[in-house]
Amino acid sequence: MIDESKQRYFKGIGWFIVSLMVCETNDVITKILEGSLSPLQVIWGRFFFSTLVLLPLMLRHRGSFRSRYLGANFLRGFILFIGMFIWCYGLDVSQLSIACLINFTTPMFTLILAAFILKEKIETPRIIATIIGFLGVAIVLNPRTASFSTATASLFLLSAIFFALLDVLNKRLVTKETILGSLFFTGFFTMLCTLGVLLFSNGATYSLTAIFTTGWQNITLLAILGMGANFLLFFILKSLSYIDVSATAPFRYMELILASTFGYLFFDERISTNAILGAIIIVPSSIYLVRCEVKISSKFNHSERKTPIHCC
C-alpha cells in the first residue's frame, strides 16, 4: 500500500509539472498574438479552436454530451473567462516573468479555498512549503524596484483568485464528469462568455471578422493555442485524479524557471538578481515538499479514492 500511495503521488505531480510547461508555452503564444489582436480576440480564438478540435471526438462519443453538470460547467467556463481576460490584459502590458511571478499567489488562495470548500485536510508541510515559496516570490518582485507596478500587480492578483477558485472547482468535478466532457464544455462555455462580450463591444478591434483577417500566422498560432488549452486542462485533471488540489500548490513555483527561460528566449527579458535569489528559496521548498508528501501519503489508504471516469 505504501508503494501504491507513492506511485499515485508521483504520477499526480508529474502530470502537474507537464501542465506547467504547456501553460508557459500558451503564455508565450498569447503574448505574441497580443501584438496584433486584443485580449478578447485571443481568448475567443483560443477556445473556439479548442472546442472545434474536440467536436469530432464528442460526436464519436455522443454520451459525453449528456452531462448532469451543465450548470457547474458553465460556472467553470465563466470563472475561466474572467480569469483569462484579466490575465491576458495584464500580460499585454507586463513582462512574462513578472506575470508568472505574481500569479504565484494562487497557491495561497488555493489552500484556503480547498480547506473551506472541499474540506481538505491541509498538512503542515504543505503550508510551510507554500509560505516559504511565497516569501521567495516577494523577494523576486521587490516593490522598491522600478519594474514593479501596483496596478499590474493588482490585475494579476485578482486573476490568481479566479484561477484558485477554478482549481477547486476542477477538483470537485473530476470524479463526476468525463475528461472529454470537461474539456469540451469548459472550452465551449468560455467561448460563449467571450462571444457575449465581443458582441456587445464597439469598434473593429473586437470584431470576430478581424480575427480571421490578420494573416495565416495568427490563425495558426490561435489553433495551436486552442489545442494547448485542451492539453493544459487534460493534464491538470489527470493530476487532480491522483492527488489533492492543495498538494499541487507549492509546485507552481517551478513555473518561475520556465517563465524566466521563455521570457529570455522569446522576448529578451533579462533575469534579475532578485529572481535568482527567489529561485534559490522556491526550488528547495518544492523539493522538500516531495519528501514530506511521500511520508504523509504512506499514512493514508488511497484505495478508497474515487477513480475519475475517463473520456472513453
pLDDT digits (tens, 9 = 90+) for 169-195: 777 666 666 778 777 888 899 999 888
* Rounded average pLDDT over 46-75: 83
Q: Is there a domain that residue 218 lies in?
A: yes
Inside any domain, residue 310: no
Averaged over 39-44, what is the pLDDT? 87
Average pLDDT of the chain to the nearest whole number: 75
- State mean pLDDT over 111-117: 74
Q: Is the pLDDT of residue 307 over 50?
A: no
Instruction: Tell me the percentage of the chain whose pLDDT exceeds 70.
Output: 74
- Flag whether 312 is in a domain: no
Query: Looking at the domain assignment, is residue 216 inside a domain?
Result: yes
pLDDT of residue 312: 31
Residue 159, in any domain of the structure = yes
Domain contains 28 = yes
At residue 311, φ and ψ (nearest 5 deg) are -60, -30
* Of residues 262 and 307, more confidently modeled: 262
In terms of residue numbers, what domain contains 179? 2-304
**pLDDT over 90 percentage in the chain:** 5
If one compares 261 and 224, the residue with the highest pLDDT of the two is 224
> pLDDT-based confidence at 221, cuts 50/70/90?
very high
**Domains contained in the chain, number:** 1
pLDDT of residue 48: 92
Residue 64 lies in a domain: yes
Each residue's pLDDT tens digit, 9-31: 888 888 988 988 898 899 899 88
